[in-house]
Amino acid sequence: MKSLDRLATVACLATAVLLGACSSTPLPAPAAAKELPAVVAPVPAPAAVSVKSAEPVAVSRAALPPYLDPASPLSTQRSVYFDFDQSVVKPEGQRLLELHGKYLAAHPAVAIKVEGNTDEQGGAEYNLALGQKRAQAVAQVLKLYGVADAQMEAISFGKEKPRAAGHDEAARSQNRRADLDYPRQ
């Protein structure tokens, strides 16, 4: 009910404004503006400026953690690849996990997600289970290097997050992996 009263009030005001604007009564001509004399204020002279020799200033930059530094292998090498239908970490994956494991053990405040992935072959449930096995296998290897359980969460995406599009072996081999997901700051 209140909204109808407000609507009626707004409509009446709008009508009054429109009718007032349509008035045929001529408006009086504006009075001639009186010309005021131009006043120019004096500009003060600039103060003398002394120039000192430029000395280098030390600027401190906050260092990026290695997992965020694009030049660091901790940032660029985060995937462990698996053979078809396998969850065993291969030797090249072991070397990569040693690097990450030593860093994480030395930095217990850093927590990661280990994300297991599969190729598109197989059913959704099977691939989720295989992705979980891969993530847990990677977490087990990281534990060997001193990474605490509280620093890791093993999850599976199954076939839902492919890295490579395509249905050939080259694409599938890129999708059979576990990724180490570090926090973003």
Q: In angstroms, what CA-CA distances link 66 with 4, 59, 122, 143, 163?
A: 64, 21, 37, 20, 23
CATH 3.30.1330.60 fits 73-181, yes or no: yes
**pLDDT for residue 79:** 98
Tell me the CA end-to-end span of the chain in Å, nearest whole number. Answer: 52
Cα radius of gyration rounded to whole Å, the chain: 36
pLDDT digits (tens, 9 = 90+) for 45-89: 555 555 555 666 555 567 889 999 999 999 999 999 999 999 999
Give pTM, 2 decimals. 0.66
Q: What residues have CB less than 8 Å from 131, skipping those under 6 apart?
A: 115, 116, 117, 118, 156, 157, 158, 159, 178
Other beta carbons less than 10 A from residue 120's beta carbon: 14
Q: Residue 142: enclosing H or E segment and its boundaries?
A: helix 124-144
Domain locations along the chain: 73-181
The tokens describing 12, both together, are 């009446």
Question: For the chain, which residues score pLDDT lower than 50?
Answer: 7, 12-13, 17-18, 33
